[in-house]
Structure 1
Amino acid sequence: MNIKIFPPFGGVVDYLGYVGIYREVSLIELDPIHIQDVFVYNQEEMLKIQIELSQVSDIELELVNPKNEIVWTQKEQSSSKFQIEKTLDYILWWDIEHPNLYRLMVKTKTDTLSIKFGFRTIEFKDDGFYLNHRKIALRGLNRHQSFPYVGYAMPKSIQRLDADILKYELSLNIVRSSHYPPSKHFIERCDEIGLLLFEELPGWQHIGGEAFIQNGLKAIEEMILRDRNHPSIILWGVRINESGDHKSFYEASNKLAHQLDPSRPTGGVRNFSNSEFFEDVYTYNDFSHTGLNPGVTSKHKVTKAKPYLVTEHNGHMFPTKKFDPESKRVEHALRHLNVLQGAVNPKALMAGAIGWCMSDYNTHKEFGSGDKICYHGVLDMDRLFKTAGYAYQSQGSHKPVMHIASTMQNGEYAGGYLDKVVIFTNMDYIKLYRNDTYIDTYYPNVNMYPHLPHPPVFITDFIGQTLKEKEHMREKDAEATKRILRKIQKDGNHLPLRDQLRMLFLLKKYKMKLSDGVRLFYEYTSGWGSKETIYTFVGYQNDQIVLTDTITSTKTPIYRLKGNDTLMIEETYDVLKLVFEKTDTEGHVLAYAMDGFTVSVSGDIELISPEIDHLHGGSKAIYIRSKQKGEGTLTLTHPDITLVKTIKILKNKLSVYKILPKKDNAL
């Protein structure tokens, strides 16, 4: 048998294209009279329902609102393919804060189909994106749905967990499913929690011959027909990611998308400027930021087309590991904020920016860091936070955030010179104490980041008011002394003569000896030789203390095994992710901890991750899989500690399709 396969790749791809069946598969026996398709969408308050039946039949419609109240019913006999329109008097709208979902039940005598959908309006305008006529700055990340050890083959709970991480942990309002349609479970969770989604057809850079193009159009059709009832989806990607211009292909792809779904705009992601434009939104991968230049390229330099959305940034431009030096991890985070700052600037006239990417992912020998891993994520492959993850998290307001992106240890910096500490936070201001002595109050840097919801806090002065308070210096003299001490800290003994004379004058003025000058340096800068240096950060909102964090040296590490203790077998099996981490007494993960450990399981669970493993930058995920209903035990052994966790495996009511009576002409 000669089988022709046209995969959506060509050349070298930077991620792995897994093969095989990795999602649930069902065999459905249908009655001759059955519902083939239902498409539900709205234009403002008007509900439009397109129904396709296998044969003409009496049907019944029932609309249930988010309060589980029946708000409309209708019975009629129609042709096999028809449309119904209905205007409701009162609507609970779907948006990112209140993701209200309606349920439409379509019934024949022998078949029932339940569709969840939401009332909402979406519009990309020249100046940005509007949801329900309210402008929203899009802030998001791209997502590969690959996971360690199993590729794409993760079941419902883990797919849904990714959506929760993006929305609740990373404070995002949009995700791009790069570069293929994601699991249905992921999309359903986006609907439920109000996470916007840009979904695109499979592919990466390559366009083949006519058979390839027809396969691509078929992929678009399958994607839209499968997913067009989901309110979270606001944009169809109908152009193969970063491919060249192809007039006939992309005219056809846009026409097809609008025929199948007149309710949504289209986009097509490219990585070069002034591309042919057939879509509704010009979507562009902007990798121009290098850390010192503007975060984004001016829109008019890329295209005259409008509207405009940045769909990738950073990523391979600055790959960063969770265990890289502190300064690199901080720069990685700031680069992401720099792009967001540029993209949400009202004068930029952009809809926002979707960064590359959510998490690290497996690749092959041509990419990655020699270990076949692309370290492009703001999270690692286990979805554990890098510093950049906290930068995104701080932009939300649903929970207080104050991440001090420093261990405050001199040995982390060249020459022992701690130049600045960056705090990613949504606090109004932060007070700093050193060994219980008040240093100063620090505020978000609105001058550098005027357009971010929550700019970071930069601390470059660790002496603050202490020279005035403890040494009783006048403010002008305290500032001069502080400046000289910082110069000594940075440049060593190479102090200009002018500063040497100034320091001698200050010492004499306050009746101090040279030995007192040495004391001032060690006490107020490096802490060298002191018994202990403890920094306490206190975050305030509305002049009330909200968060307190302490940075001190690590004495006795703490080991934790975090995660749920229940597996739930639903459509197939379930996977549980546990996280083993090593922290200091304040709960800060020790970024350079690489301790080895072993894991064993017994009972009704099996191990997916390795039996012998080690911490990656202070933490590591362990994955276990259910075998059957029952109970299992996991034992983690570390040189310093043994942790045991009992796992219960429950069996939910299976989501099986109704098997209808077999008829002579049924399939």
Structure 2
Amino acid sequence: MDRREFLAFGSMYMVGSSSVARAFSPEHSPASALQSSRTVYPLSQGWLWSRNLVAGAEMPGFDDSSFTPVTLPHSNVFVSWHNFDQNAYQFVSLYRRHFCMPAEHREKRIFVDFEGAATASRVWLNGTLLGEYRGGFTPFSFELTEHVRWDQENILAVEVDGHELQDVPPFGYEIDYLTYGGIYRDVSIRVTPQTFLENVKVTPRDVLSSAPQVQVDAWFVKAAGETSGTAYTLEAELLDGATVIAQTQQRISVAEWNAGHAVLVLRNFSGVRLWELSDPVLYTVRIRLQTSHSADETTARFGFRDARFTPQGFMLNGKLLKLRGLNRHQGFPFTGPAMPARVQRRDAEILKRELKCNIVRCSHYPQSHHFLDACDELGLLVIDETPGWQHVDDSEVWRERYLDNTRRMIRRDWNHPSIVLWSVRINESRDFHDLYVNVNTLARSLDASRQTTGVRYFQESELLEDVFSMNDFGFPLKVPNHPLYLNTEFVGAEFPVRSSDNNAQHREQILRYARIYNQIAADAHYAGGLGWCAFDYQTHWDFGSGDHICYHGVMDIFREPKPAAGFYRSQCSPEEEAVLEPGFHFAENDEPGGFEKEVICSNCDEIRCSILHHGVPKPIIVLKPDHENFPHLEHPPFFLTLPDGNDDWGDLRMDGYVKGTLVISKTCSSKGIDQKFVAHADDQELIADGSDATRIALRITDEYGNVRPLCNDPISISIEGPASLLGEDIVSLSGGVMAIWVRATRSPGSIVVTARHAHLGEQKVILQSHPADRAVSVEI
């Protein structure tokens, strides 16, 4: 189907936003209630892109037949996984999108909403410049209403500047991460009545009492010429799933009308369940702005929870919780941050389920709402952070953009129950009293229900936020000097580790984390700690390890675990999952003195180890967790020494016991031979919407499934079926692993991905791409 056929096809359908699932039902609203007239059209498909600016390309009559068809989210360059040039994405490119507006929207207001484009954007409709937005991590919108053509197609043109612009945070000096370029998050067209709801904030109150309440703040934009004499009504319903459990409505007063802001309170309901880490129950508020001739409706999802930092530590719903987490950068190989919802959500699943974290910090900028949605659903706490890295510019323009970024972040994210702190200070900056007074005043005026923090690297810093957050890469950690104290970075930046590094390097990374969490557990003055960081990430030439990669993660850039990931994983209860993770590569043994004292991360009570000769075990070594050196860790590491060093060598079997019961076993090969080639997809099914994607991990292992970290062999990739490869068709393993991502097209069907190794043969991964739901995915 060519572009114009697609436009004709798409214009036959009108897609309702998920936030307008249905109008208020007759039994809950006045008989005169009108159907909500809000509609949202996603704009992921059908974009045409030019790497170079071409004179007149913003005009509707421009011939764009030579432009490249692209799908959002989109990176303006291919991003090799390492040795990537930081200047490669620093250019200005242009996107064009043809669309036709359905005639039934003629009397409505039309907006285009961008969730993120790096780093500055100028937007035209039909040759008219709508405006410019300078900022790469926060959302922006432009109204199209006055410039829409109803009897012919419209041309949306977007000029995106990928340069690291000195007047835009986080730029101005240097930063330790890449920002990439392009329209790397979603875009949509929003259709509203002339008077419409601009934003909604839901604030649960008294959630630990027998009479909880929900305050609903609604901001609305009035139609031109609309007066306060018009009878407007604001209605709200509280939903548990599809069931309405509370409702209220009121006329909007003259004062509220003039302010464009009204407040409702939902009361007299019972039986709500709290949002807990183990059971993150979510509710919905549906709010409706109605008059005799129009109605606008939207929803907000939230959770009932009480989260606060106290001198006793962090409290969630009245219970003390020691925080254990990691920092996350949003970059991926091949596409940078330009990954769809499924891939963004997968990072939250890794942090929660594989690394057993209870908190993540969005370093150092607001991240995809898909990631935050997954944190809400999984029960993973979040620190949301304004864009920045050490530098605070002297210019008023820069500082106003910093305040505006913070404002946009909070107004976008304030309904996420997972978010427990607004990090409003520029990461690791010096003190700027007036500026930081202003930003804290701003944050508290926007959302008084959450505390603020600011991440610094020196304890002498002035505290203007509620929680003192500290990046401390030494050991032991500095003693807390404020009653509300959180460690937000440690280990990684001072101790980079590659997956292919030797046992001594991996052992030290593990033990640094173990020592710090042991210290944090010993003192209630530490609310907890977040290591640096979850995933390796790409950076500038003056950081990293010589190939533009910061190997600071407990996982590599492909989301494959290093041995240090085993420490995080081992800190969960064995009732949740039995964990036994060797912190070493058994067949790799080039340390002086041989295999003398290696670490095993486990939540078992006891590990029984034996050496296998031709499958027959030799004397059992019984290991106990090292409570002596790690007395405050619930699950200390174990240490293994082989009695005969390297002289008595064979396969190593480890059996983990809890309360005398065998719960987990692992075996490591002693042979040092690449035995198996494995290809594994995170998901077996995709949605044929042109954007959906999943990761396929490629691993060379021993005969027991342990990755062979010294294997760097090439792998060739081919795809059959309705999908494309996000990556290269020939890749070299790094530390025995590699990953590619596969993106579905708009055609459903079977997808066969074939990966070939020269000596170990080929592996096929079969995926199924299903038709997209027209109710949420059909575009104009």
TM-score where L is the length of structure 2: 0.72
Q: Are the counterparts in 2 of residues 410 and 418 from structure 1 also a CA contact under 8 Å?
A: no
Partner of 2:343: 158
Partner residue, 1:267: 453
Equivalent residue number for residue 565 of structure 1: 684
- Assess, with a 3 A threshold, how the Cα gap between structure 1 residues 556 and 595 changes in structure 2: closer, same or farther: closer
Question: Cα gap change, 1:385/1:659 in structure 2, threshold over 3 Å: closer, same or farther?
Answer: closer
Determine which of 480, 500, 506 is the counterpart of 1:329. 506
Say which SS state the counterpart of residue 553 (structure 1) adopts. Answer: coil
Q: Which residue of 2 aligns with 1:386?
A: 562
One-letter amino acid matched to 1:111: D
Residue correspondence of structure 1 range 253-264 to structure 2 within 5 A: 253-264=439-450
Greater Cα radius of gyration, structure 1 or 2: 1
What pairs up with 1:493-512 in 2 under 5 angstroms? none
Paired residue for 2:661, among 544, 550, 564?
544
CA contact (8 A) 2:288 2:296 kept: yes
Structure 2 partner of 1:242? 428
Any idea what SS the aligned residue of 2:699 has?
strand
- The residue that corresponds to 2:497 in the other structure is 320
Cα deviation 1:43-97 (Å, max 9, x = unaligned): 222321112233462233221125x432112233224422222343332100111
Which of the residues 596, 608, 612 maps onto 2:726? 608
Residue 13 (1) aligns with residue 189 (2) = no
1:284 pairs with one of 470, 473, 476: 470
Which residue number in structure 2 is paired with residue 441 of structure 1?
A: 622
Q: 2:601 aligns with which of 398, 403, 424?
A: 424
Asked if structure 2 preserves the Cα contact closer than 8 Å seen for 1:527 and 1:533, the reply is no
More moved, 649-658 vs 539-548: 649-658
Q: 1:410 to 1:386 in 2, by over 3 A?
A: closer
Q: How much has 1:306 moved relative to structure 2?
A: 2.5
The question of whether the paired residues in 1 share the 8 Å contact of 2:503 and 2:589 is answered with no
Correspondences of 1:265-664 after superposition (within 5 Å): 265-289=451-475, 294=476, 296-300=477-481, 305-347=482-524, 349-397=525-573, 398-409=576-587, 411-415=589-593, 417-435=594-612, 436-460=617-641, 462-463=642-643, 524-527=644-647, 533-554=650-671, 557-563=675-681, 564-570=683-689, 573-631=691-749, 632-640=751-759, 641-653=761-773, 656=776
C-alpha separation between the residues in 1 aligned to 2:588 and 2:720?
46
Going from structure 1 to structure 2, the CA distance change for 1:186 and 1:410 (only over 3 Å counts) comes to: closer
CA separation in 2, counterparts of 1:350 and 1:538? Answer: 35
Partner of 2:214: 47
In structure 2, relative to structure 1, the CA distance for the partners of 1:409 and 1:23 (3 Å cut) is: closer
* Structure with greater helix percent: 1
Structure 2 residue ranges without an equivalent (≥5): 1-121, 123-130, 135-164, 207-211, 223-230
Map of 2:5 onto structure 1 = none
Matches of 1:656 and 1:214 in 2, distance apart?
A: 37
Deviation at 1:363, TM superposition (A): 1.3
Supply the distance in 1 between the matched residues of 2:670 and 2:447 (Cα, whole angstroms). 58
- Residue number among 240, 249, 254 corresponding to 1:65 in the alignment: 240
Helix, strand or coil: the match of 2:654?
Answer: strand
Instruction: Tell me, in whole angstroms, the C-alpha distance in 1 between the residues paired with 2:217 and 2:775.
Output: 26
Cα pair 2:197 2:220 within 8 Å, conserved: yes
Aligned residue for 2:29? none
For the residues of structure 1 that align with 2:588 and 2:429, how far apart are their CA atoms? 47
* SS of residue matched to 1:422: strand
- Bigger mean CA deviation after superposition, 2-11 or 644-653: 2-11
Contact 2:579 2:602 in 1 (8 A): yes
SS at match of 1:412: coil
Match of 2:361 among 171, 176, 180: 176
Letter paired with 1:345: A
One-letter amino acid of the structure 1 residue matched with residue 536 of structure 2 = D
Sequence identity, in percent?
Answer: 35
Superposed displacement of residue 409, structure 1: 4.1
Q: Which residue of 2 aligns with 1:501?
A: none
Amino acid corresponding to residue 533 of structure 1 in structure 2: G
- How many residues are paired up? 583
One-letter amino acid of the structure 2 residue matched with residue 150 of structure 1: T
Q: Which amino acid aligns with 2:583?
A: A
The 2-side partners of 1:116 and 1:630 are apart by 31
Aligned residue number for residue 231 of structure 1 = 417
Match of 1:132 in 2: 317
Letter aligned with residue 198 of structure 1:
I
**Alpha-carbon distance in structure 2 between the residues aligned to 1:654 and 1:382:** 33
SS for the counterpart of 2:581 is strand
**CA 1:227–1:536 in 2, change beyond 3 Å: closer, same or farther?**
same
What are the superposed Cα offsets for residues 225-283 of structure 1, whole Å, 9 maximum, x if unpaired?
A: 10000000000011011111111110000000000001000001111121111100001
Equivalent residue, structure 2, for 1:467: none
Offset from partner CA, 1:559-599 (integer Å, 9 cap, x none):
111013322245x6111210111111111111111111111
Q: Secondary structure at the match of 1:139?
A: strand
Partner residue of 2:284 out of 103, 113, 124: 103
Give the TM-score normalised by structure 1. 0.84
Q: Which amino acid in structure 2 is aligned with residue 242 of structure 1?
A: E
Deviation at 1:525, TM superposition (A): 4.1
Return the letter of the residue paired with 1:612. Answer: I
Q: Name the amino acid aligned to 1:549.
A: K
> Which residue does the alignment assign to 1:520?
none
| Matches of 1:327 and 1:655, distance apart in 2 | 55
- Structure 1 stretches of 4+ with a deviation exceeding 4 A read 1-5, 654-660
